[in-house]
Structure 1
Amino acid sequence: MQKFLLVVIPTMENAYHRLKDFVAIPVPIGITTIAAVLEQSGHRAGIIDGDAEDLTSEELLDRVVRENPDYVGSTSMTATMDLTVDFYARLKKRLPRVKVVLGGPHVSALPTRTLQDHPQIDVVVRREGEETIVDLLAAAEQGRDLRTVRGIAFRTETGEVVSTEDRPLIEDLGKLPLPAYHLLRYDRYRSYGWNSWTSGCREPIGVVFTGRGCFGKCNFCAARVVFGAGIRFFPIERIKQELDLLVNQYKIRVLYFQDDTFTANRKMVNDVCDYLIEKGYQSRLDIMVSSRTDTVHLPTLQRMRQAGIRWICFGVESGNQAVLDRMHKNTTLDDIRNAFRLANQAGLSVAGNYMIGALGETWETAMDTINLACEMKQDYASFAITIPLPGSELYEHCLQKGTPLPSWTGFGNVNSPPIPLNENLGGEQLRELRRLATNRFFKRPGFFLRLLWRYRAWAVITDFARAYLALRQEMKANRY
């Protein structure tokens, strides 16, 4: 059987610089699930996570060469695409025969362009990869034409790029094996810095999905290019098995349900909460979820808190209704205020994710967002500048309008120059608004006193002091 090595190319230093200690190193669920189906089908699989193992690109390259795999692959994200193709160009010089396979949102959105621009990439796996990757390796072993493999794009011997028919989405997610956690150095993964405010722990962290996809239609989101429209849920028994494995074998202290909208399926939420309580996990874990503001229900939020869920992160995006409408968020300012009120009433810690620079944004509408963030009773907030990711409606809008777009490295959220989408807000104005939002929100005395009262005071003070110094250095380097 063939050997497939899955790698995470190190990007933390390039993306975050002095802020990297504050961000999470997430468990790479995508490639660990791919590794699991490869092992299930009899192939040899391995994982090297350059970020988690704190490797340089050269160190990772040496490791891959020593492994000498038949195939090597990665998940592609737009902001790291330039680093990814550079890594594989160097790898091909040392291992010319190795086949390079990329999956993920970026190449799912731009499969043909990826292969045309980058001869070092041999195959693109579009959308979900578990069934496709097994079929791809079977076709190679059997000598089948790759045109028979649904859901890929590849380059023929003559240089022609061929894109095969779409593979249907996996309807029965329960048939997927549990992720191949045993292939990871599991102790190297961690949550966000602010998780330490509550429990004092950032690791070990477990990441679990109760489903795939989202029912939202936000114009800035590219999730549909991989998972399609709507949500497909894992069976509750599989979720229970994964929770047991993570708690009992990997001894996790922090758990993140990484669904875009954890509260979308109220029955699923209640079933998960019942199991957490039944097993006593609510007293052993610091749990975080993400959600939309139009899916909250007080009794469900209260049950979540009883089950050990501490943090809920809402995708607010904007404090201006016209901007929300234009991004097709399908939420209202009343939804937002109600969600924060109910989450606080349930005893949850609340975080809000906000966005500056969406289509139709002006200085005044951005100030509406900043004012709303400061109005809401919440324990953390993040302020991002809108990015038109390939696969999103926003990216297509930019192409149609001729909006200047940078190289892929310029699609990052922290250390990349902003991409202006509106004529009245240039890059420097967007940066100024993000700085203003950060300063206005985090420098409020009442907010800081709230954190000291609710959380471990020394952890909060230490975190704020370190973050302040790091942000000053990033601003001095003109990266934030």
Structure 2
Amino acid sequence: MKIIASTLNAKYIHTNLAIRYLKSYAQPFHDIDLAEYTINDPTMNIVTDLFTKKPDVIGFSCYIWNIEETIKVIENLRKIMPKLKIILGGPEVSYDVIYWLERIPQIDYIVIGEGEETFKQLLDEISGDMKIENVHGIGYMLDNKPKINLVRNKIDLRELPSPFRFEEDKPNLSKRITYIETSRGCPFSCQFCLSSIEVGVRYFNRDKIKDDIRYLMEHGAKTIKFVDRTFNISRSYAMEMFQFLIVEHKPGTVFQFEITGDIMRPEVIEFLNKEAPPGLFRFEIGVQSTNDLTNELVKRRQSFEKLSRTVTMVKEGGKIDQHLDLIAGLPEENYHSFRQTFNDVFALGPEELQLGFLKMLRGTGLRIQAKEYGYTYMDHAPYEILGNNVIDFNDIVRIKQVEDVLEKYWNDHRMDHSVEYLAHNSFDTPFDFFQTFGTFWDEQGWSRIGHQLEDLYKRLEQFLSENNIPNREIAVGLMKYDYLLNHRYKPRKAWWSDELERKQKSEVYSGLITKPMMIASDDFYKLALNEKELYKHTLIEAFPFDIKSYIDHGEIIEKPSLGLIYFRPEDGKSVIFCFNNKEIQKKVGN
């Protein structure tokens, strides 16, 4: 019997952990091939590829991001392979089984919840006596009526075989994200999250997990993401794993964790700040809302004061990047309340601030209470809200405008100094900057067209100019600083208007050749650049503020200055050197 476990990932770099557990658990008895695609692959490409494999059984792992595309694949497979057994599993189909059985008549079975043991037993029956009634934890149609068998007991996670030892996965370990779990379940009861449905937290065997991590690193894995809902629920366990990873890690490997910020102990952070190599760990922290009433209504226990302490301590340590999440559209959080939530969290200075919108997931308490809060939402996945009793679709559109420019200008780190300055010096609050700019961006139609890096700078400059934004000149100077600092090579044509005449630049270069001490840096003097190297690898640019004070202290002093930008040919990194003010005044009129 030819069996395939398949799924449609959101991106190529993602891998599906669930189908690998199904394969490893059933492997002693059933040989299962893995077939992963993406939601962006044409439906017929997927159908054709699966058809050529000539399977007898296909199991699809289903989530909100892939269910609609998966259904299209299933509908076509059924037409060309009428005898094929099609099985669905995963969180999207586990909590409304009757709906899915009736909506997708092309499928044969749905595996409900945790699937390793259920899938294996179902395959036993399909290849044997077909006593489907004996398989716990499945749904199917019987005599044209939905039939759901008894729920299966939870599996002992300590006994699960490793899902990481397949030869076919080795070539791609360095190119894709590897997902790993050390526990299942969540101790919290957030009513918008599927994890709240499962009671309690169960752990895998620690020694097996450590062996798997060693194996993954030995075979080239670069990004390993822990999918535990609350990795640090146990302080002792988290410390043990952190210590293990610090000692055993290989250069270039990054580990990502979902952390609950307000229960992170200060001594754990102090340990990480002292012992962890920079860039080894990355934290994802769900804040969602800072509105106390909202958190109470969704049964989310959270101390923003303690969470802020954690984020601040980690940031001060300078070792770990942090990704903080917000959810717009939670109960009793109107537009103005969400604005406050955004500003509260932005003030913490996370490396990434993810702005998402509430999704009414099947099986969650909030979906059950939807009428109580006046929710309207999409009928099909991802079930994103369209409004509720305190926030309408117009407000949602406005917040989406914020999300658009936040992603491009903050999370992508294209101009950190510029955005930081604008958010705190030219607008009442950071949210107001992103909202005003986001609305302008949308009105120009830019959200419907592509963009190059230079376009982002030009569009922000246009926004500042046309709206007469306060401190525009300083902001544009910082944009130039960001652009040059992050550019990997000397730009042929800059997006800004040149403030220095060619003759002035020539005078400065001539002076540098004979008197390099014009640059107030011993590091520049040691470079000993000749005339050809100066012209080839450097730029001289004017700034509307004292560039030395800004580089040294982050202080904006409104005094025009010049900077020499050196684009290092050996590694493509740029360095900005400051001129000796007394010397440069002899060459230019500033």
Q: Give me the TM-score of the superposition, normalised by structure 1.
A: 0.80
Please list every run of 5 or more consecutive structure 2 residues that lacks an aligned counterpart in the other structure.
421-437, 450-590
Tell me which residue corresponds to 1:326.
297
Higher relative contact order (CA 8 A, sep 6+): 1
Offset from partner CA, 1:89-118 (integer Å, 9 cap, x none): 100111111111111112111111111121
Residue in structure 1 matching 2:177, options 205, 217, 227: 205
> Helix, strand or coil for the counterpart of 1:91?
helix
RMSD (Å), alpha carbons:
3.0
Offset from partner CA, 1:13-47 (integer Å, 9 cap, x none): xxxxxxxxxxx83220011111111213x211011
Residue in structure 2 matching 1:163, options 148, 159, 177: 148
446 and 129 in structure 1: CA distance in 2 versus 1, 3 angstrom threshold: closer
Amino acid at match of 1:166: V
Amino acid at match of 1:95: M
283 and 295 in structure 1: CA distance in 2 versus 1, 3 angstrom threshold: farther
- How far, CA to CA, are the matches of 2:144 and 2:303 in structure 1? 50
- How far, CA to CA, are the matches of 1:35 and 1:352 in structure 2? 34
92 and 340 in structure 1: CA distance in 2 versus 1, 3 angstrom threshold: same
441 and 82 in structure 1: CA distance in 2 versus 1, 3 angstrom threshold: closer
Tell me which residue corresponds to 2:32.
45
CA contact (8 A) 2:43 2:72 kept: no
> Helix, strand or coil for the counterpart of 2:209?
helix
- How far, CA to CA, are the matches of 1:56 and 1:438 in structure 2? 26
Give, in angstroms, the shift of residue 378 of structure 1. Answer: 1.3
Task: Verify: 1:29 aligned to 2:29, yes or no.
Answer: no
183 and 223 in structure 1: CA distance in 2 versus 1, 3 angstrom threshold: farther
Give, in angstroms, the shift of residue 183 of structure 1. Answer: 6.4
- How far, CA to CA, are the matches of 1:303 and 1:96 in structure 2? 59
- How far, CA to CA, are the matches of 2:414 and 2:82 in structure 1? 60
Give, in angstroms, the shift of residue 78 of structure 1. Answer: 2.8
Tell me which residue corresponds to 1:432.
398
Tell me which residue corresponds to 2:61.
75
Task: Verify: 1:62 aligned to 2:48, yes or no.
Answer: yes
- How far, CA to CA, are the matches of 2:79 and 2:164 in structure 1? 30
> Helix, strand or coil for the counterpart of 1:259?
coil
Amino acid at match of 2:331: L
How many residues are aligned here? Answer: 424
Give, in angstroms, the shift of residue 9 of structure 1. Answer: 2.8
Give, in angstroms, the shift of residue 67 of structure 1. Answer: 1.2
Give, in angstroms, the shift of residue 151 of structure 1. Answer: 0.6
Give, in angstroms, the shift of residue 421 of structure 1. Answer: 4.2
- How far, CA to CA, are the matches of 1:37 and 1:289 in structure 2? 25
- How far, CA to CA, are the matches of 1:115 and 1:400 in structure 2? 28
Task: Verify: 1:357 aligned to 2:329, yes or no.
Answer: yes
82 and 5 in structure 1: CA distance in 2 versus 1, 3 angstrom threshold: same
Please list every run of 5 or more consecutive structure 1 residues that lacks an aligned counterpart in the other structure.
13-23, 191-202, 412-417, 453-467
Tell me which residue corresponds to 1:285.
253
The aligned runs of 1:118-267 (5 Å cut-off) are 118-156=104-142, 158-170=143-155, 172-180=156-164, 182=166, 203-225=175-197, 228-249=198-219, 251-267=220-236
Offset from partner CA, 1:272-303 (integer Å, 9 cap, x none): 22322333x16441222111122201222344
Q: Give me the TM-score of the superposition, normalised by structure 2.
A: 0.66
- How far, CA to CA, are the matches of 1:65 and 1:258 in structure 2? 32
Amino acid at match of 2:186: C
- Rg bigger for which structure? 2
340 and 282 in structure 1: CA distance in 2 versus 1, 3 angstrom threshold: farther
> Helix, strand or coil for the counterpart of 2:178?
strand
> Helix, strand or coil for the counterpart of 1:220?
coil
CA contact (8 A) 2:263 2:307 kept: no
Give, in angstroms, the shift of residue 345 of structure 1. Answer: 3.7
Offset from partner CA, 1:214-237 (integer Å, 9 cap, x none): 111111101345xx2221111111
Tell me which residue corresponds to 2:464.
none
Offset from partner CA, 1:111-164 (integer Å, 9 cap, x none): 1111112111110101100010111112233315212111111112x2221101
- How far, CA to CA, are the matches of 1:473 and 1:311 in structure 2? 35
- How far, CA to CA, are the matches of 2:418 and 2:236 in structure 1? 33
**Larger CA deviation: 117-126 vs 420-429:** 420-429
